[in-house]
Amino acid sequence: MPRVITIDPEHPDAAALEEAAVVLRRGGLVGIPTETVYGLAGRALDPAVLGRIFAAKGRPTSHPLIAHVEGEAQARVLAANWPDVAARLAERFFPGPLTLIVPRAAHVPLELTGGAETVAVRAPMHAVARALLRAVGEPLAAPSANRYQSVSPTTAAHVVESLGDRVDLVLDAGPCVHGIESSVVDVTVDPPRLLRPGALSVAEVRSVVPELLVQEGLVAKSGAERASPGLDARHYAPRAHVHVAPSQAAAFATVSAAVAAGKRVTLVLHPPIRHPILAGDHLRVIVLPESASGYAAQLFATLHAADAAGSQLIVVEDVPTGEAWLAVRDRLRRARA
């Protein structure tokens, strides 16, 4: 198992940060907390390190990584040019849970971008990630610290469970605040386009970019059609089969039938609860928060817990329609693919 160091999320200990920085400078991989999910960090401009990240995740090398930076100035160095929209978004949301797709500067390795002429940049808000970026002094690639196509980690324990010794060191700063990945906006196209709904709401992005193009259910069919590799239909999937029921009544009906057939089931509900809840040996019932952001913060941890409990089926009551729920609906769609 990798070494795990507990670190204060707001006032990170200098010795722990330095230990992580040493691992990174030597070309190692560190599991780091961010405000969205835990990342598998390594030096973003070193092709050998990038190779280790892809191998650790079991992720195809055509899937580009996000370069994590301290702020807009460091991001600009990675970009061939910095569109006006990028400047406006960065001014408002860097640091924060927003990833921008911009034209790639010539020195940015194609291994980072999956061969693309664009590069993803994000300045995380988490104090540990920021302090580590400052200590290392160069951009860090940090995909979610999980094996390819499985549920993103929102705790250090999830990282250890998914990656084991494939990561050299993990900084444990407790659960991630947002619990869902950053929103990805492509500013190389006009109008700018939301590629991945995430922790930063569409409304917030729109407040700066009213013309933002948002398409629900973006799923890549093939490499050529793929606007963003994270859009693969299957992504974020737990081991258990996920069934999204159209209503609470339908969810209870599906659960009853499955339990009667001897299956171990986790039922995930959204308030208000309209049925008496009868949890039992084979049935775990989880009621997630009513708000979209509260729900998102706990969704991945709930899926991880269902797997850990040995559930064979996860029945999720569908969530509300509306843009605030876009990121949650997106992850539920991919979890059941």
Question: Is the CB of 235 or the CB of 329 nearer to Mg ion?
Answer: 235
The three-class DSSP label of residue 141 is strand
Q: Taking CB under 6 A as the rule, which mask of x and - marks residues 123-142 in contact with ligand TXA?
A: -x-----------------x
Residue 172 interacting entry, from ligand TXA, Mg ion, none, C-beta within 5 to 8 Å by type: none
Q: Which residue among 89, 101, 169, 258 contacts ligand TXA (CB under 6 A)?
A: 101
Run of H or E residues at 11: none
Question: Is the CB of 184 or the CB of 306 nearer to ligand TXA?
Answer: 184
Q: Is residue 228 a contact residue for ligand TXA (CB under 6 A)? A: yes
Kindly identify the residues of this chain, within the stretch 23-42, that bind ligand TXA according to CB under 6 A: 34, 36-37, 39
Distance between first and last Cα of the chain: 31
The three-class DSSP label of residue 285 is strand
Nearest-5° angle of CA 216, CA 104, CA 121? Answer: 55
- Interface with Mg ion by CB under 5 A: which range of 138-146, 167-175, 204-212, 292-300? 138-146
Rounded to whole angstroms, the Cα distance separating 288 from 103 reads 39
CA 107, distance to chain mean position in Å, is: 26
DSSP string, 143-206: -BSS-TTBPPPSSHHHHHHHHGGGSSEEEE--S-SS-SPPEEEE-SSSS-EEEE--SS-HHHHH
Residue 99 interacting entry, from Mg ion, ligand TXA, none, C-beta within 5 to 8 Å by type: ligand TXA
Kindly identify the residues of this chain, within the stretch 139-178, that bind Mg ion according to CB under 5 A: 144
Residues within the interface to ligand TXA (CB under 6 A): 34, 36-37, 39, 64-66, 99, 101, 113, 116, 118-120, 122, 124, 142-144, 181-182, 184, 195-196, 228-230
